[in-house]
Chain A
Amino acid sequence: MGTLAEKILSVKSGKDYSANDIVIAKVDVAAFQDGTGPLGVRQLQKMNITKVKAPTSIFFLDHAAPSPRRELSNDHMLLREFSKQAGAILSEVGDGVIHQRLVESFAKPGDVVIGGDSHTCTSGALGAFATGMGSTDVAIGMAIGKTWFKVPETIRIEVNGKFQPGVFSKDLILYLIGMIGADGATYKALEFGGSTIDKMSMESRFVLSNMAVEAGAKVGLIASDRVTREYLKARGRLKDWRPLAPDKDANYEKVIKINAAKIEPQVAFPHTVDNTRPISSAKGKKVSQVFIGTCTNGRIEDLKIAAKILSGKKRATDTRLIVVPASRDVYLEAMKLGLLATFVKAGAIIMGPGCGPCVGVHQGVLGNGEVCLSTANRNFKGRMGNPEGFVYLASPATAAYSAIKGRISDPREVIKKGKKGKIRVNKSKKGRGNR
């Protein structure tokens, strides 16, 4: 009978509910980051709240990490002090981006997760009802351990078929947002399924859920299955796993079917995420900065494919390359695997785990007229700190290959089908940097 959204919210509010009902649900995880947390803390202080009630309450220092300005440093002090006093967890500068940290260590299937950050929907890939809210909403949820929701209607995204080599989940989600628009799922739940999703790694699934909000969705849900189980097990969290799937006769507002085999690498042009086109229409665009990282594409799988492409190559002379691992664990793993050395040799600069230049606070603000090809989730005007800059969005493979070429380039030129269905990066001289 129920979609994933209906099933989770029914359990958390103690009665069977369906789309458009208004429910008061228990909150399992309430999270803030350093951009929205200070406002939240001030709201809590205004209400004389000194202890938090949500079972997992966390503050993440990631948007300005380390702080580039004294006002932000003072905000960090406020969050450190409050979390200590109120019994909340503090994720320090250098621990990583809120959404990556939430999936690594905190969110679990069936949870209700609220976060003072729109990309909180990332945890939906684990089968958690995870959604972004404003500071006051999260503050109240953190304080009383409950919040209200309108149970969303669900759009089912059914994906079947195999990606071409060089095409990734980032291309799929950009393609979908281009198709339904930036407001194509406003107030609704997106639920991803189908054979492509069943076989997809957890890391690739996070990309889909992460960007659900770019179509206006409240949540981006994926069933909790064996892949989810393996992911949690590998993180020493097997006890957090439970299976969770929508009912076979669930009511969907609509079902959108996508054939993965037909998708080409995608690029979102400035200045909206739904301004998405196949890479052929962006090909040759000169790029001043390439940024690989963020809560969308700063995971180990992303760094692996980027390193594979950049291995033994150099970035183009006029193209800066910034790599930011999404968390401390990703950073460590990349170090162990030698990926960081590959990036440094290729001419990249590696920043500490965090949001990096994505929000325009620090670490790579664009100059007037400069173009950045980014693996992030937003390309709004002014997003990277300068309304005169231009942000294009693409997959880590497209970003890495474009860094070598100095222009937006199609990664299918070097990524070919390898043995046993694995992908292989062509090591021919073609594609060497121009330095």
Chain B
Amino acid sequence: MLIKGHVYKFGNNINTDVIYPGKYLSITADREEMAKHCFEAVHPEFLKNANPGDIIVGGKNFGCGSSREQAATCLKYFGVRAVVAETFARIFYRNAINLGLPVIIAPGITQQVEHNDDIEIDLLIGIIKNMRTNEIIKAKKLPDFILKIVTNNGLIPYLKKKLGILGN
């Protein structure tokens, strides 16, 4: 599975209050509406400059802080195709997978990829190619069962389809 996109780059410790401001936590159903507030309070330029199809590249501890699932939801419904980071905070990481938003751990990524670069992620092998420099960056391959959840567009569709353990 190949994911191509334009890079929107952030630094270390991007927390979920920054990704999705607390005052919009009351939006719990309308995902398109959530998407209108990604990074709004602290990095309002994101909403002006980023485009659907972009890939977010972050530093260490991306998604730390509050457990709000809206932080992963707003990115997915904005159209962010994947998030690549040096490391992730665990709740955000699980939330993204549960929603079918690919999250890839790639140590050293912030050194090898610049804002506005184009990159290509091979999810199955776990490598990232920088199209500007032609450099190949090794990423951590997702464990198979996580890959299945992501490629089935999230935990609920996956459980419904594969296991049939839910429902009445």
Residues of A with Cβ closer than 8 Å to B? 35-36, 38-39, 42-43, 46-50, 63-64, 69, 71-72, 75, 115-118, 120, 132-137, 140, 143-144, 182-183, 186-187, 216, 218, 272, 359-361, 378, 380-383, 385, 387
Contact = CB atoms under 8 A, between A and B. Distances in A.
Interface in B89-124: 89-92, 94-95, 98-99
A46 B159 CA distance: 12
18 contacts: A35-B25, A36-B25, A42-B29, A117-B67, A118-B67, A133-B95, A134-B98, A135-B95, A144-B166, A183-B13, A216-B89, A359-B25, A360-B23, A361-B25, A378-B17, A381-B41, A383-B22, A387-B42
B154 interface: yes
Interface in B10-26: 13, 15, 17-18, 21-23, 25-26
A137 B94 contact: yes
Contacts, number: 134
B90 A382 contact: no
A381 B98 contact: no
* Interface range for B: 35 or more
Interface centre among B23, B67, B91 (most CB of A within 10 A): B67
A261 B90 CA distance: 33
Contacts of A387: 41-42
A134 B91 contact: yes
Interface stretch (B46-54, B57-65, B76-84, B128-136): B57-65
Given A136-B156, A182-B13, A380 B65 contact: yes
A36 B68 contact: yes
Contacts of A118: 65-67, 91
Contact of B17 (A64, A135, A383): A383
B26 A39 contact: no
A216 B94 contact: no
B154 A136 contact: yes
Top-10 shortest CB links A-B: A134-B95, A38-B28, A183-B61, A134-B69, A71-B26, A136-B98, A118-B67, A35-B25, A135-B69, A380-B17
Contacts of A48: 166-168
B1 interface: no
Contacts of A75: 26, 28
A135 to B, nearest CB: 4
Nearest to B165: A144
A39 B69 contact: yes
Contacts of B22: 35, 359-361, 382-383, 385
A41 to B, nearest CB: 8
B72 interface: yes
B160 interface: yes
A71 B33 CA distance: 13
Contacts of A69: 26
A381 B17 contact: yes
Contact of A183 (B17, B25, B60, B94): B60
Contacts of B165: 144
Contacts of B72: 134
Contact of B155 (A140, A218, A272): A140
Contacts of A132: 67, 91
A383 B18 CA distance: 8
Contact of A35 (B15, B41, B64, B68): B68
Nearest to A388: B41
A177 B39 CA distance: 25
Contacts of A218: 90
Nearest to B160: A47
Contacts of B91: 118, 132-134
Contact of B89 (A38, A46, A116, A186): A186
Which residue of A35, A42, A63, A64 has the most chain B CB atoms within 10 A of its CB atom? A35
Contacts of B159: 140
A135 B65 CA distance: 15
Contacts of A380: 15, 17-18, 65
Contacts of B18: 380-382
B166 A64 contact: no
